[in-house]
């Protein structure tokens, strides 16, 4: 696996260079985004940082496989990820309506489903006819990709939060894929390494105080790539193999679930943005921004460790997952408690 790290190093170098270029260009043409959590100062921060990650990723992968355009599945992933990137750019620049942004992600999901044969299926499905099984598989794939893609976008509200959480998740997915996957696709493994390297090159510019943001451009691209690369290991997935990518990605998934539940319970639209996500509630406790980021990084590391433990200790999987479910319930109760406390204050 050693030589493969050279492609991750190349992605890190390219992401660093591209981030510097985007930072210079963004200031020159004044492509700024408002820092949603710095409400007093309203700092002007360059957006569209995801462009650097995108170009670093596909450039590095080209060096690994210069003929990937001739492989239908890889070409489909390239086209789909480009569509997601364009959707993010348009949203950053023109604030797309939620249904338009959703349409872009779902269209990209259909591209990889039909052209790349990337699909989600599980042994947990009941015995049904082939036609019904295909319909269920299609719907599950769309839900998986849509949810995973948007989850990272929802937590992208603090400097360095989304990029750090995603980097930890990707590294954990690399470990579980390399050491515990029954069949390893070299291209998938290299893509995971390259994406990790690209994010690592971007993080120094995104850390507090951020000089450049991912924007929807980067958050959607990263989320879509994680969704697409993780779902390739979920054909005929068992309950335990399905649990691994969910545990690894649990922080953004929990925030997405909590946002939907919160808005549904209060009668608000589930697609309208608010300032009541997990990191917002932690900030209302009086914690500093870096402390909130550190807490969410710790939680990500905790659940990533549990995902690895489910692979190391097969006989204890049910107990590990029970512990993980208890932690999720505890997080939910804490978030509800914080809301009640903040309302009293």
Which of 56-60, 261-265, 324-328 has the weakest average pLDDT?
261-265
pLDDT tens across 166-207, in order? 999 999 999 998 888 776 788 999 999 999 999 999 999 999
CA distances from 216 to 87, 117, 200, 206 (A): 8, 26, 18, 14
Q: Which residues contact 213 (CB under 8 A, 6 or more apart)?
A: 33, 45, 46, 47, 48, 49, 156, 206
Predicted structure pTM score: 0.92
320 in Cβ contact with 313 (< 8 Å)? yes
Q: How confident is the model at residue 38 (pLDDT cuts 50, 70, 90)?
A: very low
Residue ranges with strand state E in the chain? 32-34, 44-46
Q: What is the mean pLDDT of residues 303-319?
A: 94
Largest CA distance in the chain: 61
Residue 245 has a pLDDT of 87
Q: How confident is the model at residue 125 (pLDDT cuts 50, 70, 90)?
A: low
Can you tell me the distance from the alpha carbon of 127 to that of 113, in angstroms, rounded to the nearest whole number?
22
Query: Residue 304: phi, psi to the nearest 5?
Result: -65, -40
Can you tell me the distance from the alpha carbon of 48 to that of 88, in angstroms, rounded to the nearest whole number?
8
Q: How confident is the model at residue 272 (pLDDT cuts 50, 70, 90)?
A: low
Instruction: Please give the mean pLDDT across all residues of the chain.
Output: 88
Structure tokens at 6: 């050279």
Q: What is the dihedral of CA 264, 104, 53, 234, to 10 degrees?
A: 70
Across 102-111, 127-136, 233-242, 244-253, the highest mean pLDDT is recorded for: 102-111
Can you tell me the distance from the alpha carbon of 258 to that of 260, in angstroms, rounded to the nearest whole number?
6
- 341, pLDDT greater than 90: no
Q: What is the mean pLDDT of residues 214-219?
A: 94
């Amino acid at each position: 696996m050693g030589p493969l790290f050279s492609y991750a190093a190349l992605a890190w170098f390219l992401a660093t260079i591209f981030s510097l270029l985007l930072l210079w260009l963004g200031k020159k043409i004044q492509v700024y985004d408002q820092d949603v959590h710095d409400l007093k100062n309203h700092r002007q921060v360059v957006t569209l940082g995801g462009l650097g990650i995108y170009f670093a990723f596909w450039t590095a992968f080209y060096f690994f496989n210069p003929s990937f355009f001739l492989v239908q599945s890889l070409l489909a992933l390239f086209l789909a990820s480009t569509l997601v990137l364009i959707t993010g750019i348009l949203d950053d620049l023109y604030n797309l309506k939620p249904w338009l942004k959703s349409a872009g992600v779902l269209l990209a999901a259909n591209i990889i489903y039909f052209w790349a044969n990337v699909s989600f299926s599980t042994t947990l499905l009941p015995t049904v006819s082939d036609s019904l099984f295909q319909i269920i598989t299609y719907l599950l794939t769309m839900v998986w990709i849509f949810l995973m893609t948007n989850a990272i976008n929802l937590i992208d509200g603090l400097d360095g939060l989304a990029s750090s959480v995603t980097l930890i998740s990707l590294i954990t997915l690399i470990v579980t894929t390399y050491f515990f996957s029954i069949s390893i696709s070299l291209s998938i493994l290299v893509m995971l390494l390259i994406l990790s390297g690209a994010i690592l090159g971007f993080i120094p510019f995104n850390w507090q105080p951020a000089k450049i943001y991912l924007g929807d451009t980067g958050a959607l691209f990263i989320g879509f790539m994680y969704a697409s690369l993780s779902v390739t290991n979920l054909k005929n997935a068992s309950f335990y193999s399905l649990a691994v990518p969910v545990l690894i990605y649990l922080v953004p998934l929990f925030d997405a679930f909590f946002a939907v539940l919160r808005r549904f319970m209060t009668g608000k639209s589930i697609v309208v943005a608010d300032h009541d996500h997990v990191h917002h509630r932690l900030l209302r406790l009086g914690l500093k921004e870096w402390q909130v980021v550190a807490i969410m990084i710790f939680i990500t590391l905790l659940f990533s460790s549990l995902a690895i433990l489910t692979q190391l200790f097969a006989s204890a999987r049910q107990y590990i997952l029970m512990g993980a479910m208890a932690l999720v319930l505890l997080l939910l109760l804490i978030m509800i408690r914080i809301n009640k406390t903040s309302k009293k204050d």
